[in-house]
Chain A
Amino acid sequence: MIPVLTTLSAGPLTTVQDLGRGGAAQLGVPFSGALDPYAHRLANWLVGNSEGAATLEMTMAGSTVEFLCEADIAITGAAMNPYLNGAAVRQWCSLRVKAGDRLELGFAENGCRAYLAIGGGIAVPEVLGSRSTYLGGELGGLQGRALADGDLLARGAASPLAAPRQLPWVPIYPQSLSLRVVVGPHDQFFATALAHFFAATFTVTPKSDRMGCRLSGPVVERDPGAPASILSEPVTPGNIQIPADGQPIVLLSEQTIGGYTCIATVVSGDLWRIGQACPGDAVGFVEVSLDTAHHILKEWQCFVSDARILLEAGWS
């Protein structure tokens, strides 16, 4: 473990994340992990890491850090105007930094979450098989918490990149999202509401966090006589809960069991999009069949895997 950076200013919510903590839900420990696993993976591949190495997830605004050794780094995800030693630098490409370099990220101008990867990965202890921070359970990441000013982080062993890497495109996060969903698991309680739900436009509210993206908009009414809550059962990232006030919550990755009814579920190939949604963004939902959802996931995985091949082949 090599000390790699210190946070001069941590930013509003910066956490260590990887691809999540599988297999612990039966203990009540949720998945956690990068809310935009696409940007997280690309950041890692840009610096020569495996996709599961831990990165820093920065929410709404970024950190200012000083590096303590030479390293390959990459910033992906939300556009946060990075400056290295006072000069603007690009995202979605590798950068070589040295001891004493100062990286400053600003407010998110497009998208919500940026990822900073460092060659060798952020070195924090694995907890139940993952380095992801689970804020609600105060575990994983750096002492189970968000980064604070003055924190010191180490990295794992890495060999420097032979040549710089760069993604040949820059993803843009639209302010109006259309998310594909499969209905259910409790659509039987929303027979009359479903048509309205698919016609409506909702707005992302500032009350959103890593547990759920909270939306506001037309009230989603359950059918007369349908229960507001059910006997608690396992929940899934992407479940769209309808609590008593009829304002949908898209569950993200910090819950294992819930008792609210869910009208529909965002397909896994679209989950990263909601991870980049900002307060004020518009969200609509489009129904697809389960078969189509599986097809979307397969296409998405092929696309991401092609991107990896492109980066590792040294295209620039």
Chain B
Amino acid sequence: MHTKTAKSRHFRPSGDTTLLATYGDAIDPLVNARVRRLAMSLDGLAHPAIVEVVTSYCTLAVRYRPQQIRWPELCDLVLALEERLGEIALESAETVEIPVCYGGEFGPDLAVVADHNGLDPQEVIRLHGAVAYPIYAIGFAPGFCYLGGLDPRLHTPRLVTPRLRVPAGSVGIAGGQTGVYPLASPGGWQLIGRTPRRLFAPERDQPIPYRVGDAIRFVAVSLKQYQRISREEWP
């Protein structure tokens, strides 16, 4: 077990104030859980030399104050925590439901995704809502989730020419990924629908309604429901 751990771990500096600790090179729920456990235990230390801990699929970034801890000590600290990871229980994962109005003006590329995969648009909607997608990372934009688990029958290449402005709440597919744009931004995803929920609200105590490790399930709603939900506060 320890040999395997040693083999699959890789510490690298990313500049002079960040340690990257990498535990794999592929999307893997176990590796991601390991990274999140380590992040939790580092956060739990509240070490004065550690500024911030950020996670992605396989990698943990530890931002540190080099005046307060030297590189070898920081590596030893992370190694020591790895030994005790078994004792760390991850917070229970929640499945967060996100209502989506598919097609029409909200999902101008629904037909493209359907045609590309030889499916009926209704079948695309059914398949897209059939899975709870695990959140492996949040980044790129506030609240933007890197999700796993898209059904291969829905994989569709990105747009050749990205849109200059994708409206906030747009739900799309890009290659083997699906996701939702919390804020308006340029983007090349195939848009299949839109959520009426405001996903990123910095004034809330919890600015986004999910955490890395949770899962997202998209729930189809009608235009009428979309309009009603968009008038509600959430959560």
Give A contacts to B, CB under 8 Å.
Answer: 22-29, 127-128, 136-139, 182, 184-185, 230-239, 255-258, 262, 265-269, 290, 293-294, 296-298, 301
Contact = CB atoms under 8 A, between A and B. Distances in A.
Nearest to A254: B141
Contacts of B56: 231-234, 257
Contact of B17 (A128, A136, A139, A268): A268
B13 interface: yes
A233 B59 contact: yes
Given A26-B54, A128-B202, A232-B137, A267 B16 contact: yes
Given A28-B144, A185-B20, A234-B54, A290 B67 contact: no
Contacts, number: 136
Interface string B184-220: 1100000000000000101100011000100000000
14 contacts: A22-B51, A25-B139, A27-B138, A27-B143, A28-B138, A28-B143, A29-B142, A137-B183, A232-B146, A233-B57, A234-B139, A236-B18, A256-B54, A267-B16
B183 A297 contact: no
Given A23-B52, A290-B71, A301-B67, A236 B14 contact: yes
Contacts of B202: 29, 127-128, 139
Interface in B35-60: 51-60
Contacts of A255: 140
B156 interface: no
A47 B63 CA distance: 31
Shortest beta-carbon contacts, A-B, top 7 = A257-B139, A234-B61, A265-B15, A293-B16, A233-B59, A256-B139, A234-B54
B26 interface: yes
A184 B13 contact: yes
Contacts of A185: 12-14, 20
Given A233-B20, A233-B58, A236-B61, A184 B143 contact: no
B178 interface: no
B59 A138 contact: no
B66 interface: yes
A234 B62 CA distance: 10
Main secondary structure of the interface of A (DSSP, over half): mixed
* Best-surrounded residue of B56, B142, B146, B182 (most CB of chain A within 10 A): B142
Contact of A28 (B16, B20, B25, B141): B141
Contacts of A234: 14, 18, 20, 54-56, 59-61, 139
B158 to A, nearest CB: 13
B170 interface: no
B78 to A, nearest CB: 15
* Best-surrounded residue of B16, B142, B184, B203 (most CB of chain A within 10 A): B16
B161 to A, nearest CB: 17
B179 to A, nearest CB: 12
Nearest to A301: B67
A212 B104 CA distance: 36
Given A231-B26, A232-B56, A27 B13 contact: no
A290 B19 CA distance: 11
A232 B54 CA distance: 12
B52 A231 contact: no
Nearest to A125: B203
A30 to B, nearest CB: 8
Interface in B102-161: 137-144, 146
Contact of B14 (A128, A262, A301): A262
A267 B15 CA distance: 6
Nearest to B182: A28
B26 A27 contact: no
Given A234-B56, A268-B17, A294 B61 contact: no
Nearest to A257: B139
Contacts of A22: 51-52
B223 to A, nearest CB: 26
B37 to A, nearest CB: 15
Contacts of B79: none
A237 B54 CA distance: 14
B27 interface: yes
A223 to B, nearest CB: 16
Contacts of B59: 231, 233-234
Contact of A137 (B60, B142, B146, B203): B142
A256 B52 contact: no
Nearest to A238: B15
A182 B26 CA distance: 26
